[in-house]
Structure 1
Amino acid sequence: MTSTHVPPITEEDIANFLTNTPGFFERHAEVLASVQITSPHGQRAVSLQERQAEMLREKIKGLEHRIMDMVRNSNDNTAIATKVHQWTSALLRVKDPFDLPEAVVSGIRTLFDVPQAAVRVWTVAGPYIDADFTQGASEDARAFASSLTMPFCGPNLGFEPAGWLAQEAGEPAQSLALLPLREGAIDSATPAFGLLVLGSPDPQRFDATMGTEFLSRIAELASAALVRLK
């Protein structure tokens, strides 16, 4: 006499059965009503319906948090767009090109809450050759600016441009953002005609891991204004 081994029914078998038999709980509603599971908010047992309601409330709460994050991001983006508009408008109102470098850096300090900012430009037209904003950029600094195809962000490791910053006593820049100035897009092969440097005593303000899309747009807007000096 041979015996037939029947494998035990697994949870997966039960799950597959219920999935493929949608009318089961319609025919056996008393089973659904009697199911009790442990609530995640305590050790008490709750019905399946109650647990589903809890899960739905948790899902709604998660969606509410996501919506609030989206609203905050939208408000932040709107505030940034407003500041960029104000800064750009101020640059467009500058009549004398000689005043443009100061307008660039003062606007960045004021509107974007950057503690330190400076700019140097070279290959300028005759009337601006001896201006302060053309002085102090070595050939190495100019070559470095031309090598950048995106803003550099990171710690102040003694870069020459850090010396251009007007530093308050006891608060040297700990982090820097170096923005190349060139005609056209920031990532073009055109040699840079200047460099905009932003500094902060906060080591994390211009972290190497931060996104540079916003800084790239700032560099391109500053370039479009300062190209009048050429």
Structure 2
Amino acid sequence: MNHEPISPITEDDIANYLANTPDFFERHASLLAAVQLTSPHGQRAVSLQERQAGMLREKIRGLELKAADMIRHGQENTAIADKLQRWTRELLRAREARELPAVAAREIAAQFLVPQVAIKVWGVSPEHAGEPFAQGASDDVMAFASSLTRPYCGTNPGLEAARWLDDPSTAASLALIPLRAGAAPQAFGLLVLASGDAQRFASDMGTDFLERIGELTSAAMSRLRPLVPASVV
């Protein structure tokens, strides 16, 4: 008479049995107290209850760290929002349109601790054509600005726009932010942020905040441009 070989019981079989038999430990309560496990903090043996309590403490500690991170990020976001509000407020307080580029650059430097800031705007109204901010942008720079679909962040490879800075030689990293009227493909200006820290404007950094800065700057600098007749819009 042939007998089929009996498969040995595996750890999975035991785990499945215990998972599907929740009253097992009720019938064998003393077993829980007798189980000894190796402590994760040494070679000493600990009871199952002590091991579970340790795991629970670790989980609580992890949740506390996550909560602390959330609070810290919330505080950082609030601080950034406050700085952005103060910067925007100064733009709104500018009485003369010709003051806007200087105000925007000065307040970005002050509020966000950017060592060097420069801005150029082209296609301005005739009354602003002689202002320093309307001078010095070559056709190449204008084309480069229009080609940017998002801010450029990275090292300074000798870009022409970096020469607008007070001290280009100390600019280890740059953020170049194109200025546009809404969704227009052509840029009408370029905002340059520079730092001596090569990682301040790293090539892999997120640009969402810089894009918001660009949108607000674009809206403010639109006061420098000729009015577009309503029939053309």
Q: Same fold (TM over 0.5)?
A: yes
Counterpart of 1:222 in structure 2 is 217
Alignment match of 2:172 (pick from 171, 174, 196): 174
Code of the residue aligned with 1:210 in structure 2: it is M
Deviations 1:14-50 (A, max 9, x none): 0010011010000110111111000101111111110
Counterpart of 1:73 in structure 2 is 73
Counterpart of 1:206 in structure 2 is 201
Sequence identity percentage:
58
Unaligned segments of structure 1, at least 5 residues: none
* Structure-1 separation of matches of 2:3 and 2:95: 101
* Structure-2 separation of matches of 1:172 and 1:25: 70
Counterpart of 1:133 in structure 2 is 133
Give me the CA root mean square deviation: 1.1
Deviations 1:120-150 (A, max 9, x none): 0000001110111111110010011111121
User: Relative to structure 2, which stretch is displaced further, 50-59 or 142-151?
Assistant: 142-151
Instruction: Summarize the Cα distance change of 1:189–1:128 in structure 2 as closer, same or farther, 3 Å threshold.
Output: closer
* Structure-1 separation of matches of 2:77 and 2:204: 20
* Structure-2 separation of matches of 1:176 and 1:25: 65
Code of the residue aligned with 1:50 in structure 2: it is E
Count of paired positions: 225
* Structure 1: 4+ residue segments shifted above 6 A: none
Aligned counterparts, 1:13-162, within 5 A:
13-162=13-162
* Structure-2 separation of matches of 1:125 and 1:190: 20
Partner SS, residue 217 of structure 1: helix
TM-score, structure 2 normalization:
0.94
- CA-CA distance at 1:190 after TM superposition: 3.1
* Structure-2 separation of matches of 1:3 and 1:144: 82
Unaligned segments of structure 2, at least 5 residues: 226-233
- CA-CA distance at 1:201 after TM superposition: 1.1
* Structure-1 separation of matches of 2:167 and 2:215: 25
TM-score, structure 1 normalization:
0.95
* Structure-1 separation of matches of 2:112 and 2:4: 79
